[in-house]
Every structure is written in C-alpha cells, then in structure tokens.
Amino acid sequence: MTAPHRRNERSRRAILDAALALLTETGYSRMTIEAIAARAGVGKQTIYRWWRSKGAVVLDALVDGLPAAAALPDTGDIHADLRAVIRATVAEFADPHLSATTRALTIETLADAELAAQVRDRLLRPQLDQVRDRLESARRAGQIRDDAPLDQVVELLFGPIYHRWLLRTGPLTEPYADTLVTLALTAACQPTVGPATERQPDLHAE
Amino acid sequence: MTAPHRRNERSRRAILDAALALLTETGYSRMTIEAIAARAGVGKQTIYRWWRSKGAVVLDALVDGLPAAAALPDTGDIHADLRAVIRATVAEFADPHLSATTRALTIETLADAELAAQVRDRLLRPQLDQVRDRLESARRAGQIRDDAPLDQVVELLFGPIYHRWLLRTGPLTEPYADTLVTLALTAACQPTVGPATERQPDLHAE
Amino acid sequence: MTAPHRRNERSRRAILDAALALLTETGYSRMTIEAIAARAGVGKQTIYRWWRSKGAVVLDALVDGLPAAAALPDTGDIHADLRAVIRATVAEFADPHLSATTRALTIETLADAELAAQVRDRLLRPQLDQVRDRLESARRAGQIRDDAPLDQVVELLFGPIYHRWLLRTGPLTEPYADTLVTLALTAACQPTVGPATERQPDLHAE
Amino acid sequence: MTAPHRRNERSRRAILDAALALLTETGYSRMTIEAIAARAGVGKQTIYRWWRSKGAVVLDALVDGLPAAAALPDTGDIHADLRAVIRATVAEFADPHLSATTRALTIETLADAELAAQVRDRLLRPQLDQVRDRLESARRAGQIRDDAPLDQVVELLFGPIYHRWLLRTGPLTEPYADTLVTLALTAACQPTVGPATERQPDLHAE
DNA sequence: GGTTAAGCGAGACGGTACGTCGAGTCTTGAC
DNA sequence: GTCAAGACTCGACGTACCGTCTCGCTTAACC
C-alpha cells in the first residue's frame, strides 16, 4: 500500500467536507463521486486512490464528524439511564434527516461486506458497547440477573428499533422507547420462563 | 393506468422468471433492467410499462413464488411453538442464498418508501401476524400478561434477528434463537420492572 | 451491422456539422468526441455507435461538405490546364487553415490503416484521377509520350507538394507550382534518358 | 536552461532505450510518457526536464541510433548512382518495421512545427543533401541541364515515394524506383517543355 | 572533505477525455 | 394497442495520462 505520509491532508478534508455537505443537500443516492470531486476541487482519481466506494467516503465523513464516545451516565438507576439513551436513539431514527443518511449507508453495507464491517465497528459498536457496559455495571450492582446474556439484551433494545425503522411497521416515539426499555429490562431482571436454554457464549469475553 | 386485460401473460411470466434467475445469479445490485429484458426476450418498455422500478419487479417475482401463509401450529405450548418458528426464521437468515434475496429487497426498501410499504404488507406482515395471532391466543390462555404489548413483543422476537443479520454482530444459530425466545417470553410473561409506562396503542386495534 | 434505416438523420447531420465547426474553430487535435457530442446536442454513444474514431467522423464531415468532383477543364493545352490545377492545389496546401485540417487527418491515417484507405479513396483519389484523366486525354492527343507511366506522372506532380508541405522544406508558391508542372511534363514528354526500364504496370488498367 | 553537466547519463540512456523499445513494441501512438518513465525506471519529471514532448524523446532516440551520413558514391554515372540510393530508400519505406518508425515520427512532425524542423534538419536534410550534392556534381560534369532546379529535382525523387507510402496508392518496388529515377533525370536533363517559368530561388544559395 | 544545491526516483495531485454502461424515453413495424 | 427491437439523450462510471508538484535521497561542485 502507498505510504500514507504522502497523502495530502488538505484534499482529504475537502473531500470529507464535500461528502458531508452533499449528503445533507442532495441525499445519498443522488450524490455522485463526480460531484464530490467537483465540490472538493479535487480530481476524481484522488478519491478513487484512497477510498473503495462512495460508501467508504461517507463512512469516513460520518465517523470523522462524530464526537468520541464517552461512557453513558451511571446514576445507579439502570432503568432511567437506559431510558435516556434509548429515547435519544429512537429520536435519532425518527428524524428524517439523520435517518436518511443512516438508511443510505445501510443500503451500501448490504451490498459490501467489507464496508459493513467498518460501519459496524467504527460507527455502531461504540454505541452498543456503551449500553453493554452500563448493563454490566448494573449486573455487578445486582440489578439484573447474573446469567443474563448481556449482548442479547443489548440487541433486545436496538433490534426492535432497527426493525421498526427499516420496515416502517410503527411510529418511533418516546412512549415506544419507554415500553421497549421496560420490556428489555424485564427480560433481563426477572427469572426466565420456559425450559432452560443453553448458555450463550459472551461475545465480549476475553 | 393501462387496461390490464390487454396484458401479455407470457411476457409477464418471462420477466418474473428472468428477474428471479438474475437475482440469484448476479445478485440484486448488479442486476439491471436491461438484463432482465434481454433475458426475458422482451422490450425494455414492456417492463417500464408495468413496473415502477427494479425493486417492484423483484418484489412481484418473490411474492409470486411464495406459498400462501398458513396459521402457525398451536400446540398449547407457546414456548415450543415460538421456538419452532423463530428457529426457522433464524435458519432462513443464516442461509446465504435466501439471505441474499432478502438483502436485495431490503436495499430497495430503504430507498423507496412506496415499495417498502408493499414489501412490508405483502411479504412480512403475514409472517409477523402469524406470530402475533399465536401470542394473542396465548394471552387468552393466560400464558402471558394481559397488558403485554403484543406488537412490541413480536418485534422483540424479529428485531434482534434483523439486527444481528444486518450488522453481522454475531452468529445466527439455534441456541441463539432459543435464548431469544426465552427472553421475549420472559418480557411478556413476568411482571414488568421499573416505573409504569404509558400503555402503547395497539397497532391492530380497529 | 445495424439496419441503417433506423438511423436518426437529424443526429447525423448535427454531428457532422458540429465536427466541421469545431474543426475550424479549435483545430483537429484539440477537438474531442465529447465536444462534438455536446455541440451537436447528442449523446456520446450516438457517435460511438456509428463511427470508429474521431478521424472517421471528420472524414465523413469533410467528404459530406465536398462538391462532387467534376472533370478538369480541357482547353487542349495540357500545360496550361495542369498549371491551373497544380497552382490551386499548392495554394490549398499553403493556406494555414485548410492545411491544418489535412495535416490532422493525415496524422490519423498514419495510425489507422482502415481510415487511411477511406481517406485515400473518398477524398484524394477523385482529385488524382481528374489529373490522370486529363493526362490520358493529352496522351491521346499526342502531347505526351506514348509509354509515359501516367500514374507516376501524377505522383510526380503531387508527391513533391506533399513532401514540401509535410517536411516544410520550402515555400509553397505559384512559381514553385509552375516549375513543378514544367518538370513533370518534361519528364512525360521528352524521350527518357538513361537505360531502358521495365514498363510499370498501369494501376488503372482494366 | 539547466546546466547540462549535472545530467545523469545513465538515465538519459535508459530513457532513449525504453523509448525505442516501446516504439517498436506498442507503436508510437499507444506509447506514453508514463510508460517510458516506468520502463526506464525513471521519474516522469526527469523526462519532462530534458524533453519538450514525446516526439522530442523519440527523435533523440532515433537520431542517437543512426550512423553519420557519408557522401554518396560518385561513379561518374549519375543514373546508376541515383538508382542505387533511390532503390535503397524505396526498400526502406517498404519495410514494415522501419516504416513504422518513420510513420511515428511523421505523426509528431505534423502536430509540432518545432519538432518538424528538428526532424527535417537532423534526420532528413542530410539524406536529401547527399542526393543534391551528387546532382550538383553531375551538373558540373554537364550531365544535367545548367538551369535545372536541383532542390526540386531532389523533391521529384523523394516526394513521390513519400506520397505513395503515405497514401498507399501503389507498391514500393525496385522497378518503381527505377522508373522514378528515369523520370526525374529526364526532367533534369532534357530541355523543358512548355512556356518558360521564373527561375526558382535556390534554397541552398548562400 | 564537507556543504549544499541540483538532479533524481517516486508518485500524489488537479484535470481532461476516454470509451462503456445503464437509465428511462421514443420510434418503427409486426401482429 | 401491445409487443420486440433497439436508437436516442443523458449522466455517471472507473481508467488512463497529462503535466505539475512535492517528498527524501543521492551525488557531484565548489568551497
């Protein structure tokens, strides 16, 4: 691979900025590499040299514009803490503007496994891990079952949101968020019903 | 709209067949209207005359090849019944071949709200409703809480599967399916934890 | 090949006109297919569909704009008649504008044998044949040697002009033209000097 | 200009060799500066620093590989001496390999007047001058007319060859060469026909 | 003999044009 | 009026080279 120290930082910035601007102005699918290059005052080749696809550029642009993930607040009240973050997440997905970008990027990931991994690890994992960490702290505090599969509880929270957003099967509102948190926590706190199931491997075990 | 009684059934079939074939052969995103027309031995116009987009053709092709949804078996054991259907669903998503098609359609869904509604109502809703109906029967049998929000419980089952499939955050296995069913049923059966939340409107109330 | 009756005459004309215009405005080498298409209000594909190269378009444009070759005037005075046509030819090559186009097309023919044949047969041969015909008439009138190789005499007239034009070894003026005609006719009229040479085959013999 | 004493001879050689190799391998028009640089293991800038264009490089490469021009043999028989050199010239143009190179350089010549002058003076003039010198000697020996325009006689010999080669209007054979010599010498030896023409300035008069 | 500016390889850069692809529209004749 | 066929305009694709521009490194000339 090319030594990255030769890379022109000014161009890199211009491209990411242009991508972000076009993303909000014209939407992902109507945005073209050619337009990004023109807007950034850059040759197309310079984009192709450093990124594999439109999706990769947008991903970089988004990650680049994101604040570093801080830990979730831990008030000691797991229910309240989760409600806050899930409400925020639901609101984000409900916002047509933010939603459009996510939607667009999701499309790209469906067709490009490499990109999907990047999106997952650089954009989403941090958010999921925040919640997981908060749940772990709650478990240590005895607020949720010892054998609760934390990863799946996290998915219990985010999965339905994605589902509803993706398939538009219902509104994304605050009461919805609250019910969701309650359901997930009930599943995580109460003793399980039904036959015992094999313990799921913890994806985060080191 | 053009009167459909003039429509050439032979062409319609050829187009849907070609679409299905190309879908599995070349994948959704590399498949073009032009290719469908060529493969079907049909003028491009004939496709544009009857369908709004590539996604619409594919949707028709898929729905066309699908069996009508029958009701889920009801053995009286809600846990066992759900486990069966969720295991099947997880297996379907884990299968690379079936998964490719779903993936394809999901892409289009993301970019086209009109199509999304069609996919949701013609392809997915029947499946979700089967599960919802089974849950309703369980509620009547007193096996789950009276005030459990059935729609959200359904999403508690399917959301995480979509999420894990979409983001590839973990394997889609049988034990995973079983744990998922247990968690969802726990949430639906056990008394809720945390503060009371506003009752969600039932999406199916008439 | 595609049935030509489907071809859009309006586009064809627009392309040839645009090519001719650009040829005189910007010169051959700075003229691009893209510019022709834009100027003609035509998709690039339409040019690529019907022509193999820029040179082919220009050739068509030139041939298209040319009057049908009439026979040279025959006053009975071969010397005067040739002087007229050779003076005109020399003037044409001396004109920077006309010359530029010829020069450009010649470049193209050097790299493309197919095109070269077209240029030779459709653009140049008619002109050469006019002169040859006039020489033949002079031979019949007993004004030049019976065994004079007419094709080579024609080349004796045009070859040096091309040479001088191509290599810029000297000015292209009227006196030059006149001397050239005199030399060529001397070669054609006077008895040959030196050892007898094998009779060259007449390229036009039927 | 940059002081040439700093110039890296190894690079110069590598570039000229690479140019010559690519010329015969891929042909002039498909050969690029980038390819020459890559092949020579040299930075592009090193080429641009010392040559103005692709043609200039090729010219240098060709001149570099050429023997110095010696005087033509002078047996006293002007016809025999010319026949020898013209036969050789015709053979050279008939050879597809040598011809390709000439063709290549001629292309560039057409588009670049500065280069044309170089080619003319460094490559062609020596050859033409050899013939001219031989003719001059013949004139002194009384073998050709006193007032014969030697420059134009030279062109009478070479022009038709170029013409036939360029336009591919006929074969380049020995008998053709011989006829050509006879015609040119007839024009130069015999009294002129037709009206007297203004004496052409001798291009070589000092 | 050490310093220093040049030439050097490498290759990124902003550009221009390439030739191709597919979109969606339009036209032609056959049925 | 629908169909197969396919030409049309349009716009973007990803690539190839252009000629210019740094970057460090090497090297030869002049102190």
For residue A170, the one-letter residue type is G
The Cα–Cα gap between D76 and D141 comes to 8
Kindly report, as residue ranges, where domains of CATH 1.10.10.60 are found in chain D. Answer: 9-64
Confidence of residue C198 (pLDDT cuts 50, 70, 90): low
Contacts of A147 (CB under 8 A, 6+ apart): A199
Q: What is the pLDDT of residue B1?
A: 44
Q: What is the pLDDT of residue A114?
A: 82
Tokens 């052409």, located at residue: D200
Q: What is the pLDDT of residue D2?
A: 43
Give the gyration radius of chain D's Cα atoms: 20
Residue A157 and residue A131 in contact, taking contact as beta carbons nearer than 8 Å: yes
DSSP symbol at A121: I
- Whether residue C155 lies within 8 A of chain D, CB to CB, comes out as yes
What is the mean pLDDT of the segment spanning B102-124?
79
Q: Which tens digit of pLDDT belongs to each residue from A190-204?
A: 988 877 666 666 666
Confidence of residue A65 (pLDDT cuts 50, 70, 90): confident
Q: How many of the other CB atoms lie within 10 Å of CB of B45? A: 9
Contacts of A73 (CB under 8 A, 6+ apart): A81, A84
CA angle A154, A159, A162 (to 5 degrees): 135
Residue A93 and residue A159 in contact, taking contact as beta carbons nearer than 8 Å: no
- Lowest mean pLDDT across A187-191, C27-31, C186-190, D171-175: C27-31
- Whether residue D160 lies within 8 A of chain C, CB to CB, comes out as yes
CATH homologous superfamily, domain D9-64: Homeodomain-like (1.10.10.60)
Determine the distance in angstroms separating the CA of C153 from the nearest CA of chain D, rounded to an integer. Answer: 8
Q: Which tens digit of pLDDT belongs to each residue from D100-131?
A: 777 777 777 777 778 888 888 888 888 899 99
Instruction: State the number of CA atoms in the 13 A half-sphere of A4 facing the CB.
Output: 4
Q: Which tens digit of pLDDT belongs to each residue from A66-87?
A: 766 677 889 999 999 999 999 9
Instruction: Check if residue C5 sits with its Cβ under 7 angstroms from strand F.
Output: no
What long-range pairs does B172-178 form, CB within 8 A, spacing at least 24?
A: B172/B90, B172/B91, B172/B93, B172/B94, B173/B90, B173/B94, B174/B87, B174/B90, B174/B91, B175/A197, B175/A198, B175/A200, B176/A152, B176/A200, B176/B90, B177/B83, B177/B86, B177/B87, B177/B89, B177/B90, B178/A197, B178/A198, B178/B83, B178/B87
Contact A197 B182 (CB under 8 A): yes
Residue of C nearest to D28 (CA): C111
Amino acid D51 CA to nucleotide E1 C1' distance, rounded Å: 35
Residue A175 and residue B198 in contact, taking contact as beta carbons nearer than 8 Å: yes
Confidence of residue B62 (pLDDT cuts 50, 70, 90): confident
Nucleotide nearest to C33 (CA to C1'): E17
Residue C167: alpha-carbon gap to chain centroid: 17
**Closest by Cβ to D194, choosing from C117, C182, C193:** C182
Task: Give the phi and the psi of residue B168 in degrees, each rounded to 5.
Answer: 50, 45
Structure tokens, A4 = 């990255």
pLDDT higher at B119 or C48: C48
Contacts of A185 (CB under 8 A, 6+ apart): A78, A79, A82, A144, B193, B194
The Cα–Cα gap between B186 and B174 comes to 18
- Lowest mean pLDDT across A137-146, B3-12, B31-40, B162-171: B3-12
Residue B144 and residue B192 in contact, taking contact as beta carbons nearer than 8 Å: no
Residues 47-76 of D with CB under 8 A from C: none
Q: What is the pLDDT of residue C188?
A: 94
Amino acid A44 CA to nucleotide F10 C1' distance, rounded Å: 20
Structure tokens, A32 = 């073209």
Confidence of residue A103 (pLDDT cuts 50, 70, 90): confident
What is the mean pLDDT of the segment spanning B80-96?
93
Give the gyration radius of chain A's Cα atoms: 20
DSSP symbol at B43: -
Residue B199 and residue A176 in contact, taking contact as beta carbons nearer than 8 Å: no
Contact C163 D162 (CB under 8 A): yes
Chain D residues whose beta carbon lies within 8 Å of the beta carbon of residue C190: 186, 190-191, 193
Kindly report, as residue ranges, where domains of CATH 1.10.10.60 are found in chain C. Answer: 8-64
The Cα–Cα gap between A43 and B186 comes to 57
Q: What is the pLDDT of residue A6?
A: 83
Q: Which tens digit of pLDDT belongs to each residue from B22-52?
A: 988 888 888 999 999 999 999 999 999 999 8
Q: Which tens digit of pLDDT belongs to each residue from B129-157?
A: 999 999 999 999 999 999 999 999 999 99
- Choose among A70, A56, A78: nearest CA to A143: A78
Structure tokens, D11 = 């690079």
Q: In Å, how far are A128, A149, A195, B170 from A204, measured between CA atoms? A: 12, 11, 25, 11
- Choose among B84, B77, B72: nearest CA to B134: B72
Q: What is the pLDDT of residue C98?
A: 78
Residue A143 and residue A153 in contact, taking contact as beta carbons nearer than 8 Å: no
| Domain A8-64 classification at class level | mainly alpha
Instruction: Check if residue D163 sits with its Cβ under 7 angstroms from strand E.
Output: no
Quickly list DSSP for A33-56: HHHHHHHHT--HHHHHHH-SSHHH
CA angle B76, B81, B87 (to 5 degrees): 170
Residue C2: is its pLDDT beyond 70? no
Residue of D nearest to C163 (CA): D159
The Cα–Cα gap between A129 and A119 comes to 14
Contact D162 C164 (CB under 8 A): no
Residue ranges in chain D modelled with pLDDT below 70: 1-5, 67-69, 196-206
Amino acid A42 CA to nucleotide F20 C1' distance, rounded Å: 15
Q: Best of A167, A198, A200 to disrupt the B interface by mutation (most B CBs within 10 Å)? A: A167
Determine the distance in angstroms separating the CA of C18 from the nearest CA of chain D, rounded to an integer. Answer: 22
- Whether residue C161 lies within 8 A of chain D, CB to CB, comes out as yes
What is the mean pLDDT of the segment spanning A167-174?
91
The Cα–Cα gap between C17 and C11 comes to 10
CATH of domain C78-189: 1.10.357.10
Residue B93 and residue B161 in contact, taking contact as beta carbons nearer than 8 Å: yes
Residue C115: alpha-carbon gap to chain centroid: 13
Question: In whole numbers, what is the pLDDT of chain B averaged over residues?
Answer: 86
Determine the distance in angstroms separating the CA of D88 from the nearest CA of chain C, rounded to an integer. Answer: 17
Q: Decide: helix, strand or coil at residue B27.
A: coil
Q: What is the pLDDT of residue A172?
A: 95
- Whether residue C187 lies within 8 A of chain D, CB to CB, comes out as yes
pLDDT higher at D15 or A106: D15
Structure tokens, C93 = 């090559």
Contact B117 A168 (CB under 8 A): yes
The burial of D141, by beta-carbon neighbours within 10 Å (0-12 exposed, 13-18 middle, 19 or more buried), is given as exposed
Residue C156: is its pLDDT beyond 70? yes
Q: List subunits contacting chain A, requiring 3 or more Cβ pairs under 8 Å.
A: B
The Cα–Cα gap between B86 and B177 comes to 6
Chain B 145-204 contacts with nucleic strand E (CB below 7 A): none
For residue A129, the one-letter residue type is D
Q: Which tens digit of pLDDT belongs to each residue from A4-56?
A: 568 999 999 999 999 999 988 888 888 999 999 999 999 999 999 999 999 99
What is the mean pLDDT of the segment spanning C87-102?
86
Determine the distance in angstroms separating the CA of C3 from the nearest CA of chain D, rounded to an integer. Answer: 31
Percent of chain C exceeding pLDDT 70 equals 91
Cβ-count burial D83-105 (b if 16+ within 10 Å, e if not): bbbbbebbeebbeeeeeebbbbb
Instruction: Check if residue C39 sits with its Cβ under 7 angstroms from strand F.
Output: no
Q: What is the pLDDT of residue D69?
A: 67
Give the gyration radius of chain C's Cα atoms: 20
Q: What is the pLDDT of residue A1?
A: 42
Structure tokens, D166 = 């360029």
What secondary structure, in 3-state letters, does chain D show? CCCHHHCCHHHHHHHHHHHHHHHHHHCCCCCCHHHHHHHHCCCHHHHHHHCCCHHHHHHHHHHHCCCCCCCCCCCCCHHHHHHHHHHHHHHHHHCHHHHHHHHHHHHHHHHCHHHHHHHHHHHHHHHHHHHHHHHHHHHHCCCCCCCCCHHHHHHHHHHHHHHHHHHCCCCCCHHHHHHHHHHHHHHHHCCCCCCCCCCCCCCCCC
For residue D125, the one-letter residue type is R
Kindly report, as residue ranges, where domains of CATH 1.10.357.10 are found in chain A. Answer: 78-189
